[in-house]
Chains A and B, each alone.
Chain A
Amino acid sequence: MSEIEFLDWVRGQGFQIAVIIFVAGVIIRFAEILLLGRKTNLAEAKGSEMGGGLRTIVTRSVPDKSTFKRSTFIVVAGYIFHIGLFVTIFLFAPHILMFKEVIGFGWPSLPTPVVDAMAVVSIIALLAILVHRMRDNVLRFISTTEDYLVWMLTILPLITGYIAFHRIGMTAPTLLAIHILSVELLLVVFPFTKLMHAFTLVMARWYNGAISGYRGVES
């Protein structure tokens, strides 16, 4: 397979397979969760489930002061790489072109040097998080193979993207193909790992807020 053929495959068939697994997987996971259902609360309500649920979806993004003090590193590093991922995935001009091709519409991009810097910052944050995971008493204990696998599959597209953009080491088509392939790997494992939290946290936060809201507590 020539490098052009390789690039064509990852952009064509490979991409299709990855997207199908991603979409079908996410739908299956949503069905698995929601079809279980939950019993209606028969206790006299003191507050609103809906109000509490919606509130917590928003408010849980910001920790209270004391929690921030106790978990400063994970909050700061977590925020940095999540924002970095968002910016590099959705606000990089070539990515927006790709989205436009697939879904039919685009949106404004950030200047390339800004995205480039964010990619570097995210890579650094993720490296720091890995070191923290391996050294911290609690994280070392709770971490599984999946945690390290997901970490690797998350940082790979950032690194391959950075290398492809700066054309380091190999020819452009190969670098681009490797980058796309790394994204496809991420898409394929996404529905079946903790990466699903990107979607399910909305449900989890809603349930948490609804349970508390029903009792008149803002959670």
Chain B
Amino acid sequence: MSASLEKGINALKEQVDSTVAAFFSSCTHCGMCADACLFYTETDEAKRMPINKAEPLRRIWKSEYTLLGRVGKMFGLTAKVDDALLTEWETLVYDSCTLCGRCSMVCPVGNDIALLIRKTREGMAAAGHAPEGLIGATTRAVTIGSPMGVKLPALMAQIGHVEKDTGMKIPVDVEGAEYMLLLSSMEIMNFPEFIEAAAKIFDKAGVSWTISTEAFEATNSGIQIGVSDIAAELVQRIVDAAEKLKVKTVISPECGHAYMAIRWEGPNLVGKPFSFKVRHILEVLDEFRQDGRLKITGKEEQRLTYHDPCQISRRGGVIDQPRNLIKMFSDDFVEMPDTGKMNWCCGAGGGVSSNERADEIRLKVFQRKKDQLDEIKPDAIVSACSNCRIHLEDGLEEYHMDIPLLSLTETLAEHLAD
């Protein structure tokens, strides 16, 4: 056995706990997860069904943690994990799954299949079977501090532009601020309007906030590729900065997996509870709304819908907040068929967008989103994840659909009363 394969197998063993055992013990091969997954429904390729993607992990569980599997192993009857299997599974685990978790909502025996696939990635990555694009993004995140290679001077330049355009001061490294805002590289490079919008809202709400120069990056390639050590290191940078600045709340920006990484996986990755709160920007805005800190003027004329980013809604629990906020500036809001916790993924989360090899399939499975949109024909789509936003724009262009994408935070800021 090669050293890397052994590492992979050990990583898979580490992932097995009572949830994994209960899930695999319960699967009846009913096939319902396939119907819940856009990578199956839009391709009709059976191998892309959710539970099949966790096969490497299942084999390790079976052969190491069940009586029958261990007996079978002695006689060479239990299926093994080898390099050939991992090579074959790489495109299933990374290119054909966004960890959106829709399968986990549908499985009749209650298996959290997305969790099984997330865990499978730990073994794949350890064995050297992760896609190049994700390895690159992860390496840049560790060495440069951002998966897109965005360095501090780039952020400072964008902050400079925003300050010049608005005449507002963007607070940087302010000790004792109530909120510390994280940003995704995508926002810094492609959507600096987000920084402007946040600044305006915080100003109007009258709260103190800051951006840390030591930890401004919210995204976490470690949880996408499935290397917990790296994910923990990236989380620790944020923890250190938040503790140094003594902030009360860290805000995760308009990015799905960043929220999952810092809010739900973060404390578990670093091994201790945080001394500060973590909230998604939409949660913070909704709190402002409840406290009467948001004065809104004018309404959007167009018919709006909301695309639920999977890690924020289904996997994150921020479902009502965006709807409360949109209704502040829209009287013509329509839900997509299958919405909220049952929404369909855009097709590019969970590291798929960083993986060039998956470009073709992510655009193919966008057909699902197209069908959803065709049913309600919105004039614009509001969302709260830069990655969804980029991919939705890509998909809409591919399918010749002319529907603009709006950031919820930015749209809200445009409607702030003076």
Contact = CB atoms under 8 A, between A and B. Distances in A.
B232 to A, nearest CB: 12
A205 B111 CA distance: 7
B156 interface: no
A100 interface: no
| Interface size band for A | 35 or more
Interface string A194-219: 10110011011111110110011111
Contacts of B109: 60, 197, 200-201, 204-205
A25 B34 CA distance: 31
A143 B29 CA distance: 7
B342 A64 contact: yes
Contacts of A212: 317
A136 B105 CA distance: 22
Contacts of B85: none
A6 to B, nearest CB: 29
B267 A42 contact: yes
B69 to A, nearest CB: 10
B271 interface: yes
A36 B22 CA distance: 10
Contact of B110 (A147, A192, A208): A208
Given A42-B271, A204-B22, A219-B104, A67 B32 contact: yes
B112 A207 contact: yes
A217 B106 CA distance: 14
Given A139-B31, A142-B52, A219 B105 contact: yes
Given A36-B21, A60-B108, A204-B109, A215 B264 contact: yes
A47 B317 contact: yes
B319 A33 contact: no
Contacts of A219: 104-105, 341
Interface in B36-54: 36, 40-41, 44, 46-47, 49, 51-52
A203 to B, nearest CB: 4
Contacts of A138: 31, 34, 40, 46, 49
Interface in A130-184: 136-144, 147
Contacts of A1: none
Given A74-B30, A142-B52, A144-B29, A206 B106 contact: no
B19 A38 contact: yes
A204 B65 contact: no
B268 A42 contact: yes
B178 interface: no
A194 B108 CA distance: 14
Contacts of B341: 217-219
Interface string B245-272: 0000000000000000001111110011
B25 A200 contact: yes
B316 interface: yes
A89 to B, nearest CB: 18
A214 B343 CA distance: 20
Interface stretch (B184-192, B273-281, B382-390): B273-281
A158 B35 CA distance: 30
Given A39-B17, A43-B264, A197-B28, A142 B342 contact: no
Contacts of B44: 137
A68 to B, nearest CB: 10
B104 A204 contact: no
A201 B110 contact: yes
A144 B55 CA distance: 13
Contact of A204 (B26, B267, B342): B26
B129 interface: no
A204 B46 contact: no
Contacts of A74: 30-32
Contact of A70 (B35, B68, B264, B272): B35
A51 interface: no
A71 B111 contact: no
Contacts of A217: 313-317, 319, 341
A95 interface: no
Interface string B285-320: 000000000000000000000000000011111010
B57 to A, nearest CB: 13
A96 to B, nearest CB: 27
Contacts of A194: 25-29
B26 A32 contact: no
Of A39, A194, A207, the most chain B CB neighbours within 10 A belong to A207
Contacts of B108: 60-61, 63, 75, 78, 201
Ranked 4 nearest A-B pairs via Cβ: A205-B110, A141-B46, A216-B317, A42-B267
